[in-house]
Amino acid sequence: MTANDIRSSYISFFQNHGHAVIPSAPLVPENDPTTLFNSAGMQPLIPYLLGQAHPLGKRLVNSQKSFRSQDIEEVGDNRHQTFFEMLGNWSLGDYFKKEQLPWVFEFFTKYLGLDPKHLFVTVFEGNDTVPKDEESIAIWKELFSSEGIDAKIGERIFTYPARKNWWSRSGEPDHMALGEPGGPDSEVFYDFGEELHLHEHSPWAQEPCHPNCDCGRFLEIGNSVFMQYKKTENGSLVELPQKNVDFGGGLERLNAAVNNIRDVFQTDSFSSIVHELEETARTEYGTDAKSTRAMRIIADHMRASVMMIADGVLPSNKTQGYVLRRLIRRALLYGRDLGVWGNWEYLGGLVAPVARMYADVYPTVQKQQDMIEDVVKDEAKRFGKSVEKGLREIEKLPAVDGKQAFILYETYGFPWELTEEIARGRGQDVNRHQFEEEFKKHQELSRTAAA
Ligand code: SER
């Protein structure tokens, strides 16, 4: 199945269960100044989760364009992305656990054809105010049993505290803002095989593996949030007037699971961009760890940049434009690891594969392809010149300390890794702590300036 097949199959499955299809909101929220980007399908729906009536009813489904800037530095492994599509279905005070979990299971196993033996689930273990989610445990047991699987706790069903199995935009209950909705959740993970945990170079091999282990064996492919609480003024949680379901599943990750490909960058959600990169760099994807990481970062960042520009963001020094600038710059810099350094315009060539990939679902990308290419090439050229100047500055310094690393970051757009790498090449270390301190000071200043 392709990404397009998975998206349309999901939408029609939930349409057949009485859900109205809502379009994806743009990446930049329309009426929510508290955040730069939509990072989950629920975000544009907050008023309705809190009780306002939605014009299309109580059951909704869509695929939402999402961007998580907090994941920029994580990109480079087999699964992290900044831009992704989130398949979502919502019950606004209508159905709840006993419909949601069986639908998720049915969709995953019967429509996507995932082998139930590869599925593992997690539920909330309870705390002082919200009890353990016994109802979800009972439902999961029955669902697995219908497939001949005895789903034992700690083997197939895992319970975790709020840090892992509670969802709100701000995380666990203590971090929730006044009036914010949230609730316990139940996640589904796909198992790519025990050998990912146990292989001879695995740093995890001596520890027990479980769905939230970082070894790469388990990939989270869906999260049903039972959004039934709201934070009150005295810091406690109260039940919302309605019990909601907020489900989100990353399309690219589902694509990896469905095709049993351990690397999202090898699915058709990325392959056309990666292929273009292979041609430009004359390097096959997967040749070595360094070039593979660089290709993942460039592919992710350029896909995200194209989608942002198509939604009206332009490079600048603040807010969304600054994030876009950072993406294009990082993408360009990682070209060093592919031997395409100095070619400031090749990133423009990565726009077409993204536009082609989304021609049917987001046709505005292809319509704006020429403009997007111009924006990317222009930004790349300007940064290329600036970076050359920065490199000359570094050459003048006998050694780079953390403060200077920050100045290079601020003035010439040098990410930490680049400065560190150049310094290492000269047999020197840069004080990361000092750099981070400067960074924090700057963030505080920008926060105050933005307030
Ligand atoms: N809002 C939840 C998440 O982002 C489920 O969609 O994981």
Of the candidates 54, 34, 30, 33, which has an alpha carbon nearest to the alpha carbon of residue 44?
30
Of the candidates 380, 108, 68, which has an alpha carbon nearest to the alpha carbon of residue 247?
108
Check pocket membership of 167 for ligand 1, CB cut-off 6 A: yes
Cα–Cα dist 328/220, whole Å: 28
Kindly indicate the confidence band of residue 390, based on its pLDDT and cuts at 50, 70 and 90: confident
Long-range contacts of 311-316 (CB under 8 A, 24+ apart): 311/26, 311/27, 311/28, 311/65, 312/26, 312/28, 313/27, 313/28, 314/375, 315/375, 315/379
Asked whether residue 196 carries a pLDDT value surpassing 60, the answer given is: yes
Nearest Cα residue to atom 5 of ligand 1: 248
Nearest Cα residue to atom 4 of ligand 1: 40
pLDDT for the residue numbered 443: 77
Q: What is the pLDDT of residues 216-259, one digit of tens each?
A: 899 999 999 999 999 998 989 999 999 999 999 999 999 999 99
247 alpha carbon – ligand 1 mean position (Å): 6
Cβ-contact 327, 301 below 8 angstroms: yes
Q: Which atom of ligand 1 is nearest to the CA of 225?
A: 5
Q: Mutual orientation of helices 369-396 and 416-425 as an angle, nearest 10°?
A: 40
pLDDT for the residue numbered 446: 65
Cα–Cα dist 280/275, whole Å: 9
pLDDT for the residue numbered 366: 97
Name the token pair of 176. 């929730």
pLDDT for the residue numbered 447: 64
Q: What is the mean pLDDT of residues 165-176?
A: 95
> What letter would DSSP give residue 77?
B
Q: What is the mean pLDDT of residues 322-340?
A: 90
Cα–Cα dist 329/332, whole Å: 5
Q: What is the mean pLDDT of residues 5-23?
A: 98
Instruction: State the Cα angle at 234 between 232 and 240, rounded to 5°.
Output: 20
395 alpha carbon – ligand 1 mean position (Å): 46
Of the candidates 278, 326, 338, which has an alpha carbon nearest to the alpha carbon of residue 302?
326
Nearest Cα residue to atom 3 of ligand 1: 248
Nearest Cα residue to atom 2 of ligand 1: 248
Name the token pair of 196. 């990912």
Dihedral (CA of 371, 7, 296, 66) sign: positive
Q: Which atom of ligand 1 is nearest to the CA of 249?
A: 6
What is the SS3 assignment for 437? Answer: helix
pLDDT for the residue numbered 7: 98
Check pocket membership of 223 for ligand 1, CB cut-off 6 A: yes
User: CA separation (Å) from 428 to 396, 425, 436?
Assistant: 14, 7, 18
Q: Which atom of ligand 1 is nearest to the CA of 88?
A: 6
Cβ-contact 376, 347 below 8 angstroms: yes
157 alpha carbon – ligand 1 mean position (Å): 19
Kindly indicate the confidence band of residue 336, based on its pLDDT and cuts at 50, 70 and 90: confident
431 alpha carbon – ligand 1 mean position (Å): 37
Q: What is the pLDDT of residues 66-106, one digit of tens each?
A: 999 888 888 999 999 999 999 999 999 999 999 999 999 99
351 alpha carbon – ligand 1 mean position (Å): 28
Cβ-contact 6, 255 below 8 angstroms: yes
Q: Which of 187-201, 217-231, 301-315 has the least mean pLDDT?
A: 187-201
User: In terms of C-beta density within 10 A (0-12 exposed, 13-18 middle, 19 or more buried), how is residue 222 classed?
Assistant: buried
Check pocket membership of 41 for ligand 1, CB cut-off 6 A: yes
Check pocket membership of 247 for ligand 1, CB cut-off 6 A: yes
User: In terms of C-beta density within 10 A (0-12 exposed, 13-18 middle, 19 or more buried), how is residue 199 classed?
Assistant: exposed
Q: Which of 76-80, 370-374, 445-449 has the least mean pLDDT?
A: 445-449
Nearest Cα residue to atom 6 of ligand 1: 248
Q: Which residues contact 143 (CB under 8 A, 6 or more apart)?
A: 101, 102, 105, 151
90 alpha carbon – ligand 1 mean position (Å): 11
pLDDT for the residue numbered 450: 47
Kindly indicate the confidence band of residue 112, based on its pLDDT and cuts at 50, 70 and 90: very high
222 alpha carbon – ligand 1 mean position (Å): 8
Q: Which atom of ligand 1 is nearest to the CA of 41?
A: 6
- What's the mean pLDDT when you consider all of the chain? 93
Asked whether residue 451 carries a pLDDT value surpassing 50, the answer given is: no
Cα–Cα dist 318/330, whole Å: 17
Top mutation candidate among 14, 24, 42, 168 for ligand 1, by most atoms within 8 Å of CB: 42
Radius of gyration of the chain, Cα coordinates, nearest whole angstrom: 23
386 alpha carbon – ligand 1 mean position (Å): 39
Cα–Cα dist 143/150, whole Å: 10
pLDDT for the residue numbered 448: 61
DSSP labels, 304-340: HHHHHHHTT----SSHHHHHHHHHHHHHHHHGGGGT-
What is the SS3 assignment for 121? Answer: strand
225 alpha carbon – ligand 1 mean position (Å): 7
87 alpha carbon – ligand 1 mean position (Å): 10
248 alpha carbon – ligand 1 mean position (Å): 5
Asked whether residue 449 carries a pLDDT value surpassing 60, the answer given is: no
Kindly indicate the confidence band of residue 31, based on its pLDDT and cuts at 50, 70 and 90: confident
Cβ-contact 386, 412 below 8 angstroms: yes
Start-to-end Cα distance in the chain: 46
Q: Which percentage of the chain shows pLDDT scores above 70?
A: 99
Top mutation candidate among 14, 90, 168, 223 for ligand 1, by most atoms within 8 Å of CB: 223
Q: What is the pLDDT of residues 398-421, one digit of tens each?
A: 888 999 999 988 888 787 877 887
DSSP labels, 272-301: HHHHHHHHHHT--TTSSHHHHHHHHHHHHH
Check pocket membership of 40 for ligand 1, CB cut-off 6 A: yes
